[in-house]
Amino acid sequence: MHGVVVVGAAGRMGCRLVANLIASGELDLVGAVEFAGSPFIGQDAGLVAGCGECGVKISDSLEQILASGKAEAVIDFATGGVIEAAQMAVRANCAMVIGTTALSAGDRAELKRLADEENGRIVAANNMSVGVNLLFKLVKDAAAFLGIDYNVEIVEMHHNKKLDAPSGTAVRLGEVVCEARQWSYDQAVRNGRSGMVGRRPAEEIGMHALRGGDVVGDHTVIFSAEGERLELSHRASSRDMFARGALLAVEFLLGASAGLYDMQDVLKLK
């Protein structure tokens, strides 16, 4: 059994990670972390996750858990402190799986530095689902095959508590289209439309973020031309498939050399 720590353990994703880790035969939950001052500190992580007492209390110190030497990997879907956690994990020779979205360019540069200069083994991916990662590949092929006559629009919908927009997955879908068509993301992507926006340029990707209710995550990429429309869609109905993807990423990193990887590497889709 390989010891794994979950950071952000009381969050929506953290709870599903805890539950899936407890149910997994290969990986063992050895620590759970929340921010200092969280009302969940000291509570049993399994009870918080709704899957029964597991004997792991939620702590505010990742450093102390890593110092115990029981952990081989850290999974972090916390909405804060991700880079500090990655630095601690790498320095403790632990694999690091990051699901948190909306990382800045500076954050990503630091993850790359940790991989290159401090031998970190890191997977960072805005979407850990197997289906979405296959969608990235399908969208890449469609964007290249269909050519510029096919206008691209991206529509995503998430629950009403989501903090960032457009979603990290929608951004990645936009990047995939731009890479396939050799466009600049910043120039091509237009976030929403309002008012007298004029005719739609061909080199444009309309990006639309819908919010409401308890939607786990829907993404559709629409390719529209004269006379036909192709829509590639993914709908998540449970957070468990993100959690299962994160566990696959841990297993991948346990046998990997130093590097900054994404789910396309984990799933061998490159």
Q: One of 2, 112, 137, 162 is an active-site residue; which one?
A: 162
Does the protein bind ligand NAD through residue 8 (CB under 6 A)? yes
Structure tokens at 162: 């989501």
Of 22 and 248, which has the nearer Cβ to ligand NAD?
A: 248
Say whether 162 is catalytic. Answer: yes
Number of H helices, E strands in the chain: 10, 12
The greatest distance separating any two alpha carbons of the chain, rounded to the nearest whole angstrom, comes to: 63
CA dihedral 107, 111, 117, 122 (to 10 degrees): 170
Q: Is the dihedral of CA 142, 102, 266, 235 positive or negative?
A: negative
Distance CA 128, CA 150 (A): 28
Sheet hosting strand 27-33, strand order edge to edge:
58-59, 27-33, 2-7, 73-76, 95-98, 121-124, 259-261
Residues 107-126, interacting with ligand NAD (CB under 6 A): 125-126
Q: State the Rg of the chain over Cα.
A: 20
Number of residues near ligand NAD (by CB under 6 A) = 24
Least separation in angstroms between residue 224's CB and ligand NAD is 28
Tokens 């110190």, residue located: 61
Alpha-carbon span 265 to 267, nearest angstrom: 6
Question: Which of 112, 99, 8, 114 has the alpha carbon at shortest distance from 58?
Answer: 8
One character per residue 71-100, x = contact with ligand NAD (rule: CB under 6 A): ------xxxxx-----------------xx
Check binding of 10 to ligand NAD (CB under 6 A).
Answer: yes
Convert residues 221-250 into a mask of x (bound to ligand NAD by CB under 6 A) and - (unbound): ---------------------x--------
**What is the closest distance, in whole angstroms, from the C-beta atom of residue 229 to ligand NAD in the complex?**
28
**188 is a site residue for ligand NAD (CB under 6 A):** no
Among residues 188 and 266, whose Cβ is nearest to ligand NAD?
A: 266
Q: Is 209 near ligand NAD (CB under 6 A)?
A: no
* Binding segment (CB under 6 A) for ligand NAD, from list 11-19, 148-156, 175-183, 186-194: 11-19
- Among the listed ranges 29-37, 181-189, 194-202, 247-255, the one in contact with ligand NAD (CB under 6 A) is 29-37
* Residue 14 binds ligand NAD, judged by CB under 6 A: yes
Determine the residue type at 261: Y
Instruction: Return left, alpha or beta for 194; rule: phi > 0 is left, psi -120 to 50 is alpha, else beta.
Output: beta
Out of 6, 21, 33, 75, point to the residue binding ligand NAD (CB under 6 A): 33
Residue 133 engages ligand NAD in binding (rule: CB under 6 A): no
Helix axes 105-117, 82-91, angle to 10 degrees: 0
Beta carbon of residue 22, minimum distance to ligand NAD (angstroms, whole number): 17
Hey, which residues are catalytic here? 158, 162
Residue ranges that bind ligand NAD, judged by CB under 6 A: 7-8, 10-14, 33-35, 38, 77-81, 99-101, 125-128, 242
